[in-house]
Amino acid sequence: MTETTYAARTNNAFVLTETATVAELIYQGATENDIRRQVLVEDLFQLRSQLSRERALQTILKRLNQVPESYVKLIATGNIDIRRYTILFLILQEHRLLRELIAEILLDKIKAFDYIVTAANLRAFFEGKQEQSETVAAWSDSTYKKVMSSTVQVLVNAGLLEVNSRRGNYEIRSLPIPSVLRQQLLNDGFGHYLPLMLDI
């Protein structure tokens, strides 16, 4: 289900390795109780804090439970690119601010053949959202900064942005979506997500 409201997403943004681990367990037939035991009791994620384990697992299970099993299989059995782009798709479904950042900044830049996202571009985007949305305007300064940082970090982790040599700047990287994932998205009626993954 695509999120229509803004949510203050600050933790466990990408968790690629952990998501792949859980997807593999699900694909092998592990129950949710089995997975919870391995993550929370046996510390499968190698996270010291019990709270960090619980948060990461909750994020991952929510994402994996909202899509058909075919996407779990792609993450469980795919190469690193398939895993990374499939997780990006899962995050895009739940992250309105991320979808809008890509649509309003990255895609506009690409259309203008400008592949550098500056700190000023990002600041203007997030300040604009504060002005447009009562929800975003109500966030505390620390929450606002964390959301801004974690939203951009998703794009870096997904490979759509690369840190530029100039401080605070990023370079847009538009790489081909793995064909198996691209076809799955089209088959399932999720083709409108492809531009947001810079498949243009």
Please check whether residues 84 and 20 belong to one and the same domain: yes
Please check whether residues 87 and 123 belong to one and the same domain: no
In a domain, 184, yes or no: no
Task: Say what the pTM is.
Answer: 0.90
Q: Which domain holds residue 154?
A: 96-172
Q: Are 59 and 154 in contact (CB under 8 A)?
A: no
In a domain, 8, yes or no: no
Please check whether residues 89 and 104 belong to one and the same domain: no
Please check whether residues 87 and 103 belong to one and the same domain: no
Q: Are 89 and 71 in contact (CB under 8 A)?
A: yes
Number of folded domains that form the chain: 2
- Residue appearing with tokens 């793995």: 178
Please check whether residues 49 and 90 belong to one and the same domain: yes
Which domain-ending residue is among 94, 123, 144? 94
In a domain, 190, yes or no: no
pLDDT tens track of the chain, all 200 residues? 565 677 776 665 788 999 999 999 999 999 999 999 998 888 888 887 888 889 889 999 999 999 899 999 999 999 999 999 999 999 999 889 999 999 999 999 999 999 999 999 999 999 999 899 888 888 888 888 888 888 899 999 999 999 987 778 999 998 889 999 999 999 999 999 999 999 87
- The set of residues, in sequence order, having a beta carbon less than 8 Å from that of 103 and lying 6+ positions away, is 195, 196
Q: Please state, in angstroms and rounded to a whole number, the distance separating the CA atoms of residues 84 and 19.
A: 10
Please check whether residues 75 and 134 belong to one and the same domain: no
In a domain, 2, yes or no: no
Instruction: Please report, for the domain that includes residue 158, its CATH number.
Output: 1.10.10
Please check whether residues 79 and 105 belong to one and the same domain: no
Tokens, residue 134: 């009562």
Q: Please state, in angstroms and rounded to a whole number, the distance separating the CA atoms of residues 18 and 35.
A: 11
In a domain, 198, yes or no: no
In a domain, 195, yes or no: no
Q: Quick one: CA torsion of 198, 67, 57, 96, rounded to 10 degrees? A: 50
Please check whether residues 89 and 109 belong to one and the same domain: no
Please check whether residues 51 and 24 belong to one and the same domain: yes
